[in-house]
Structure 1
Amino acid sequence: MDAHQLIKDKQIVIFELDDVLYPEKDYLLQVYYLFAQFIEYTEQKNAQVILEFMRNEFKNNGTDHLFEKTATAFEIDNKYKYNFELLHQNARLPLKLLLFKNMLEFMQTLVVDRKKIFIVTAGNPEQQLNKIKQTEWNGLEQYLTVYFADELNQQKSEIFQNILNDNNLSSSDALVVGANNFDEQQSRLINLPYIVSLEIYK
């Protein structure tokens, strides 16, 4: 869908972060790489083999019980689960996270057209902030206002409504860009227009 047409009558656009602005796997796979390196250093187990296992498990079954499955496969002590979880929150990534090309171009269009940009993201606030800090924003960071739903202990729909109220806007003045049913449901609760990020092009 044409970006200019989408926003011609909008004042603000609200985004989720994971799998909307960037691919979340780009963060997780780097965390797994760092964890495998850590285990090799502390336990002298082959990092490459561990990483390959984690990649395949993630690809086939997602993140559920990934540490436990890896620990069982390689006889890794359960005490290292703390390190695994901590890395998710504060990992210093080898590579910057890159925005989806269509999202980068869309956000640049928003800036040129003087639209306000908000990110409302769910999940561990420290982890989400870590992702934001290690994303290559191409200068867009100065135009972002970020809300962490879990930190505020609010539903996204409540935060959406507060953003509208704070900017003296109605739901028709805004657009939510997401990637899953939950984001869409939260938008519909207050009649906010919603679009899936993959449908946007320049």
Structure 2
Amino acid sequence: MKYADIDQRKNAFIFELDDVLYPEKDYLYQIYYLFASFLEYTELLDGKVLTDLMVKTYEEEGRDIVFDRVQERFQFDKNYRENFDRLHLTARLPLKLLLYADMLELLQQIVVDRKKIFIVTNGNPEQQLNKIRQIEWNGLEKYLVCYFADEIAAKPEPDTIYKLINDHGLQRREMVIAGNTEADVLCAQACGIDFIYSEEFLSSQ
């Protein structure tokens, strides 16, 4: 799907952040690298082996088990979980996060057409803001309005969208939500707003 395929009467576009505008693994893998570097310094462990194990665990078992797997393997102090968790919230990444190329093009076309772009994202607000600050927006950042749904009510609850509508004087018929989770779908349905799966905009990245 291209921007030209969207109903041109749509004037406001709402996006989730993770795995919609950029691949979240690009954030997480840098967190794992930083944590591994920390352990290499404090515990004299092999940073590359640690990083590889964390990435492998994430890919095969999911993020929630990553710390437990490396701690079991290397038997370091469990109190390091605090460092691990803090990095997720506040880490300064070695590399900028890059938007999906197709999403960058889509956002640029929306801006050229003088339409509104919103990010409504679930998750810890401090962490989500940290991600947003470290994305390479290519000058688009001044056109973005961000809402952290957990500060009001996490999606699929529609409260944040209702606030957005009221804040900006929008009509549901002129809006579209792009996301990739059931929470996004249910939120759009609850609000009576058209929904598009973000994958429809993505070619092979």
Structure 1 partner of 2:124: 124
Structure 1 partner of 2:85: 85
- Structure 1 Cα separation of the partners of residues 121 and 7 of structure 2: 21
- Structure 1 Cα separation of the partners of residues 154 and 68 of structure 2: 31
Structure 2 partner of 1:171: 172
Shift of 1:194: 0.5
Q: What TM-score does the superposition give when structure 2 sets the normalisation length?
A: 0.94
- Structure 2 Cα separation of the partners of residues 168 and 152 of structure 1: 19
Whether 1:187 aligns to 2:188 is yes
Contact 2:30 2:94 (8 Å CA) reproduced: yes
- What do the CA deviations read for 1:38-91 (whole angstroms, capped 9, x no partner)? 000000011111111111111111102211111001111101000000000011
- Structure 1 Cα separation of the partners of residues 170 and 34 of structure 2: 44
- What do the CA deviations read for 1:75-132 (whole angstroms, capped 9, x no partner)? 1110100000000001111110000011100000000001111000111111100000
Q: Give 5+ residue unaligned stretches, structure 1.
A: none
1:102 partner letter:
D
- Structure 2 Cα separation of the partners of residues 75 and 140 of structure 1: 45
- Structure 1 Cα separation of the partners of residues 167 and 85 of structure 2: 36
Shift of 1:201: 5.9
Contact 2:153 2:159 (8 Å CA) reproduced: no
Contact 1:157 1:190 (8 Å CA) reproduced: yes
The 10-residue stretch of structure 1 (156-165 or 58-67) with the greater mean CA deviation from structure 2? 156-165
Shift of 1:193: 0.4
- Structure 1 Cα separation of the partners of residues 35 and 11 of structure 2: 43
Whether 1:147 aligns to 2:154 is no
Structure 1 partner of 2:8: 8
Q: Give 5+ residue unaligned stretches, structure 2.
A: none
SS of 2:67's equivalent in the other structure is helix
Shift of 1:145: 0.4
Contact 1:103 1:200 (8 Å CA) reproduced: yes
Shift of 1:5: 2.8
Shift of 1:4: 2.0
1:188 partner letter:
Q
Percentage identity across paired residues of the two chains:
48
- Structure 2 Cα separation of the partners of residues 21 and 4 of structure 1: 18
Whether 1:58 aligns to 2:61 is no
Contact 1:2 1:201 (8 Å CA) reproduced: no
Shift of 1:158: 1.3
Any runs of at least 4 consecutive aligned residues in structure 1 with deviations exceeding 3 A, and if so which? 153-156
- Structure 1 Cα separation of the partners of residues 53 and 154 of structure 2: 37
Structure 2 partner of 1:103: 103
Summarize the Cα distance change of 1:201–1:29 in structure 2 as closer, same or farther, 3 Å threshold.
closer
2:195 partner letter:
Y
2:8 partner letter:
K
RMSD: 1.4
Greater RCO (CA < 8 Å, at least 6 residues apart): 1
- Structure 2 Cα separation of the partners of residues 8 and 148 of structure 1: 27
Structure 2 partner of 1:161: 162
Contact 1:102 1:201 (8 Å CA) reproduced: yes
